[in-house]
Structure 1
Amino acid sequence: MPTMTAVASPVQLDAVRKTYGSGDSAVEALAGVSVSFPAGSFTAVMGPSGSGKSTLLHCAAGLDEPTSGSVTLVGTPLKGKNETQLTELRRQHVSFIFQSFNLMPALNVEQNVTLPTLLAGREPDRAWVAQVIERVGLAKRVKHRPGELSGGQQQRVAIARALASRPAVVFADEPTGALDTTTALEVLTLMRELVSEGQTIVMVTHDPVAASYADTVLFLVDGSIVTQMATPTVEAVAGTLADLGARAKQARGQR
């Protein structure tokens, strides 16, 4: 496995607040979150709908600017960086896996996987690309286009694309949400293996099974981390989610 960028915690948030709108219509999506994601760790972010999960991911990745507080990505403070500088930083160090695969329909598997590296102005390491494509089980499909692949295979292409550029950190937003159970477990197993080899993954999910593959689960409610769980199990995660959902519903009823 190639060595990742050597930073003890590739992602750090310090007292991050994010407010949308102003005055009476203001919505606080993040309420002063401080958290760091160590190198070689797999963290799941969970919580009731509207708890701030995607906002946390977007602020951590520099896709959204916090209202206050600071974010450090692979040792670089994001505050004051313009969009060009942020794009360059992400191209060099960050990859994304989304629920929608975002593949280029006219390109085959290999071309889709190497595209971000080429866009960053670098020549892909063809041996590493071939290894990644083999790891996601698509070695015999490299010349196929997305339209010739199943949904699960398309998601595996998206995962290979995320890893081919050797990022310091992968941000995943519901990466198994559109997959059948068998394929989802294969994808999660692959992500788990990559973390054991030094990859850092931050994953937003609503699925207790997906979360059980992580080292740590962070639970968000109303923009705050209310608890976290190490070595999560499906049952423990599901129980905590049910409890938080009931409490959030009760709190809304009392407002």
Structure 2
Amino acid sequence: MTTMKTLEAPVRLDSVHKTYGSRENAVAALRGVTIDFPAGSFTAVMGPSGSGKSTLLHCAAGLDEPTSGTVTLVGTPLAGKSETELTELRRDHVAFVFQSFNLMPALNVEQNVMLPALLAGRTPDAAWVAQVIDRVGLSQRVKHRPGELSGGQQQRVAIARALAGKPAVTFADEPTGALDTETALEVLSLLRELANSGQTIVMVTHDPVAASFADNVLFLVDGSIVTQMAGPTVEQVAARLAQLGAQAKQARRQR
């Protein structure tokens, strides 16, 4: 399989294997994954349950260490880095958007968005923070705490927080999983905008509608990339997922 190769790719995995457990209890979560995520690209990662989607994302972000192979994040090979070095690298260049919003309940919208900069010892850019809060449609809610916001509004705070640090890469794990359809589409449109402005977005999702916002979809089965789809439509993604699910079921029956 050919993969897009670019020197500027902010995220690169080369022959990445990840095995949990040992000997007879060993489970291979990733099997020799090689892929580049170019600057300004929006990639959806899909596959049946247990296919290695979240493991791929965690290895790419330096949250989990591959058993073998190399991961390069914003030009930095992650092998041999201490936890402190990895934390600093992520803090300066990476943002995360998860299904759980991970907001501080005692802080208001503005304070939550500013928090990563404060934790990094930087003075938040107040004008930029106001701009990103406006961009996610929460200018009227800046003094509200998470408990006073809907789920969709909380997710938008999480995206504003990600935006505020001007990261090179945003990793999103099922970011619309807990949202209603209308709010999910708003969040996906925001992620699409981020990619259009030059950020690299890597999103794990099971939703064909979410995947249709991406430039490219990677389909994983049993820890391997089995196919890719450029310019995906909802119908194409749904059909491919159904096909892969049927193949996986048949393979399990034959074992």
Tell me the TM-score normalized by structure 2. 0.97
- The letter of the residue matching 2:31 is A
- Within 5 A, what are the aligned runs for 1:42-191? 42-191=42-191
Query: 1:70: Cα distance to partner?
Result: 0.2
- Equivalent position of 2:220 in the other structure: 220
**Aligned-partner residue type, residue 226 of structure 1:** V
Aligned to 1:239: 239
- 203-212 or 126-135, which deviates more: 126-135
Q: Distance in 2 between matches of 1:125 and 1:41?
A: 26
Specify the alignment match of 2:211 in structure 1. 211
**Number of matched residues?**
249
What does the per-residue CA deviation read over 1:36-64, in whole Å, with 9 as the maximum and x for residues that have no partner? Answer: 10000000000000000000000000000
What amino acid maps onto 2:248 in structure 1? A
- Deviation per residue, 1:92-142 (Å, 9 max, x gap): 100100000010000000000110111111111111111110010001100
Unaligned runs of 5+ in 1: 1-6
Name the Cα RMSD after superposition: 0.7
Amino acid at match of 2:38: P
Structure 2 counterpart of 1:137, which letter?
G
Q: In the aligned structure 2, how far is the partner of 1:194 from the partner of 1:12?
A: 19
Provide the C-alpha distance between the structure 2 equivalents of 1:113 and 1:223, rounded to a whole number of angstroms: 35
Q: Deviations over 1:118-175 (max 9, x none)?
A: 1111111111111110010001100000000000000000010111011010000000
What letter is aligned with 2:221?
Answer: V
Q: 2:71 corresponds to which letter in structure 1?
A: V
1:248, CA displacement in angstroms? 0.6
Percent identity over paired residues: 82
Amino acid of the structure 2 residue aligned with 1:166: K
Whole-Å separation in 1 of the counterparts to 2:154 and 2:175: 11
> Where does residue 200 of structure 2 map in the other structure?
200
State TM-score, norm by structure 1.
0.97
Letter in 1 for 2:93: H
